[in-house]
Amino acid sequence: MDSITVFAPATVANVACGFDIFGFAVDNPGDQITLTASPEPGVRIIDIIGDEGRLPREANRNTASIAIQTYLQHINRTDVGVDVVLRKKMPLGSGLGSSAASAVAGVFAINELLNRPLTVRQLIPFAMEGERIACGSAHADNVGPSLLGGFCVIRSYQPLDVIRVNTPASLYCTLVHPDIEVNTKDARFILKNEVSLKNTITQMGNVAGLIAGLMTPDYDLISRSLVDVIIEPVRSILIPEFNEVKQAALENGALGCSISGSGPSMFALCRDPQTAERVGAAMQQAFLSVGISSESYVSEINQQGPKVLTTAEVAS
Amino acid sequence: MDSITVFAPATVANVACGFDIFGFAVDNPGDQITLTASPEPGVRIIDIIGDEGRLPREANRNTASIAIQTYLQHINRTDVGVDVVLRKKMPLGSGLGSSAASAVAGVFAINELLNRPLTVRQLIPFAMEGERIACGSAHADNVGPSLLGGFCVIRSYQPLDVIRVNTPASLYCTLVHPDIEVNTKDARFILKNEVSLKNTITQMGNVAGLIAGLMTPDYDLISRSLVDVIIEPVRSILIPEFNEVKQAALENGALGCSISGSGPSMFALCRDPQTAERVGAAMQQAFLSVGISSESYVSEINQQGPKVLTTAEVAS
């Protein structure tokens, strides 16, 4: 093939109690990338659609093209030429893993275009390099689930150890993105470097409970475990009406509700699609009560990771 | 019945990464208690065998009798009279949940003697009261698995939330108790009150990995997750030759090895009984190289919790 278009899913990192170690993928939203083979070696950004001109077009500054470049260097194929068109289908700086989705779409697409020299799991480090550009450190809690699908645990970074955990057949995610912006670096900067042993113990209990709840499955246990005593109390001050929005989600039947990634988006997990829709409407209403508009997305947990939308042979 | 003898299992608390939240029960060692109904109201310690006279004989200072008293008060049966004979079948102050086993044996036995007014799970708080006497705070990471059997997560203390997690069909525990003593209160006192966020993240990753590894089951994941970066580096200084003993366990095929509870006993988890026996011998040899004798116990994970050994009707 000469051309390929790939979708990669948005992701919810942290998932309340699992700061830097938990993340899951959703079916909606996500990014699209189109790669077209070119006789001229190198990676070029031809166009980015949907970012209102905010993302860098230089190939060595863009998260998707850097991921592709790093991959091509690793497999010794810097002779390959590829033109990139990126369609941002989700808000930037939203806490929905926007940069990870672009990087994942990029490496997944180039690996397909070259007939899969590497397995999907082997692509994680190259997508992480894209993340390093976007947020200053190479995190895997968005990249992992965006690439592998499902709910992932980043058990360790050195060496990298990403585990995929089964989730209940019926589990829905509501995402609400308020039209405000939180910088990922700021959101990390305000965190304290020390945690009390007491809070560490509480958080570990919820981490264990959430994994056991997802794998059993046990919805009540999932619900009791979606509690974050370390990060949420600090970061939630960056999100206006956080407590009211969370309360609205819980009162409308969500299993739990917290910050998606570093925010400002918020996620809720629900047992069924009707509840997820109702929860989304209630969360949007709570934001609107202080004049903040928002977008809401409802989907199942994405189990597949990226998918090929179209391929084409270009007549020579 | 008028008399009952109950066995309650020893337990390994913490299990490397899960300080204060993980614990599992073993088939060997354990404590035995015999309760005999008496017409005279109140709980009396008639005899304690195997403690070399070190445990208090006063009913309001002994962990087993306090658990029974608290239970009788709760069910409004202070009219009941019971004589207690406790057979300590494991070392005291060993990190094997000795006080928990006595308390659990006591409450389980009195509940059986009275024809089960409460469920086994409902007995946890009364056994915890016994623990409070023994170590100054009412922990559940020994009491929980000793009562429920299996591998337990103490997700939360307020409210108490004890979750039982499935373990692989073939999973063996080696326990080695060196003939030295570590006071539980001292072992807690030397811990720092603050943990770095970085270590908290690492520990949470291992907590999640261990639960996923046990439930999948995935022995390699269990092995990679049996790592403690918070407590073991501090407490291991109280155990002579700790590093050498641990190394001996790992070199002989253990999935992991760490301190049992607050020590000085050490545990190792193994895939099969032959490995568990070999690991035990190697650990004992490492202790012996610096002149420390030890006892070794090998058993499966106890799935049942306490069991009734004998009951008797006393002719009136």
CB contact under 8 A, A193 and B197: yes
Q: Are A68 and A4 in contact (CB under 8 A)?
A: no
Confidence bin at A228 (pLDDT 50/70/90): very high
Check whether domain B3-164+304-312 has CATH 3.30.230.10, yes or no: yes
In this prediction, residue B314 carries a pLDDT of 65
CB contact under 8 A, B205 and A154: yes
Q: Higher pLDDT residue, B315 or A175?
A: A175
Write the pLDDT tens digit of every residue in B114-132.
Answer: 999 999 999 999 999 988 8
Mean pLDDT over B136-165 rounds to 95
| Domain A3-165+302-312, CATH among 3.90.550.10, 3.30.230.10, 3.40.50.720, 3.30.360.10 | 3.30.230.10
In B, which residues are within 8 Å of A224 by CB distance?
A: 155-156, 161
Say yes or no to pLDDT of B250 above 80: yes
Write the pLDDT tens digit of every residue in A29-61.
Answer: 999 999 999 999 999 999 999 998 899 999 999
Query: Is A184 a known active-site residue?
Result: yes
CB contact under 8 A, B202 and A156: yes
In this prediction, residue A137 carries a pLDDT of 79
Q: Is B94 annotated as a binding residue?
A: yes
Query: Could you tell me if B192 lies within 8 Å of chain A, comparing CB atoms?
Result: yes
Interface residue of B203, B211, B228, B234 to substitute, partner A, most A CBs within 10 Å: B211
Query: Could you tell me if A209 lies within 8 Å of chain B, comparing CB atoms?
Result: yes
Query: Could you tell me if B234 lies within 8 Å of chain A, comparing CB atoms?
Result: no
Query: Could you tell me if A215 lies within 8 Å of chain B, comparing CB atoms?
Result: yes
- Of A19, A156, A200, which is closest to B195 when you measure between CB atoms? A200
- Domain ranges for chain B: 3-164+304-312, 172-300
CB contact under 8 A, A197 and B212: no
Query: Is A78 a known active-site residue?
Result: no
Asked if the interface predicted TM-score (ipTM) of this complex is over 0.90, the answer is yes
Least confident of A86-90, A248-252, B250-254, B293-297: A86-90
In A, which residues are within 8 Å of B153 by CB distance?
A: 205, 208-209, 212
Computed over every residue of chain B, the mean pLDDT equals 95
Count of pairs with CB atoms under 8 A, one residue in A, one in B = 130
Nearest CA to CA, how far is A240 from chain B (Å)?
25
Q: Are B249 and B279 in contact (CB under 8 A)?
A: yes
Q: Is B210 annotated as a binding residue?
A: no
Nearest CA to CA, how far is B44 from chain A (Å)?
37
Eight-state DSSP code of residue A237 = G
| Helix-helix angle A273-288:A242-251, to 10 degrees | 150
Write the pLDDT tens digit of every residue in A138-181.
Answer: 889 999 999 999 999 999 999 999 999 999 999 999 999 999 97
* A230: Cα separation from own chain's centroid: 21
Buried b (16+ CB within 10 A) or exposed e, B230-253: bbbeebbebbebbeebbebbbebb
Q: Is B97 annotated as a binding residue?
A: yes
Q: How far is CA B238 from CA A142, B160, B260, B261, in A?
A: 41, 31, 13, 13
CB contact under 8 A, A203 and B205: no
Query: Could you tell me if A155 lies within 8 Å of chain B, comparing CB atoms?
Result: yes
Task: Point out the catalytic residue in the list B34, B174, B184, B275.
Answer: B184
Write the pLDDT tens digit of every residue in A96-143.
Answer: 999 999 999 999 999 999 999 999 999 999 999 988 887 777 889 999
CATH architecture of A172-300: 2-Layer Sandwich (3.30)
Q: What share of chain A has pLDDT > 70, as a percent?
A: 99
Helix H or strand E segment including A81: strand A81-87
Helices assigned H by DSSP within A91-196: 98-113, 124-135, 143-148, 184-189
In this prediction, residue A186 carries a pLDDT of 75
Confidence bin at B184 (pLDDT 50/70/90): low
A218: three-class secondary structure by DSSP: coil
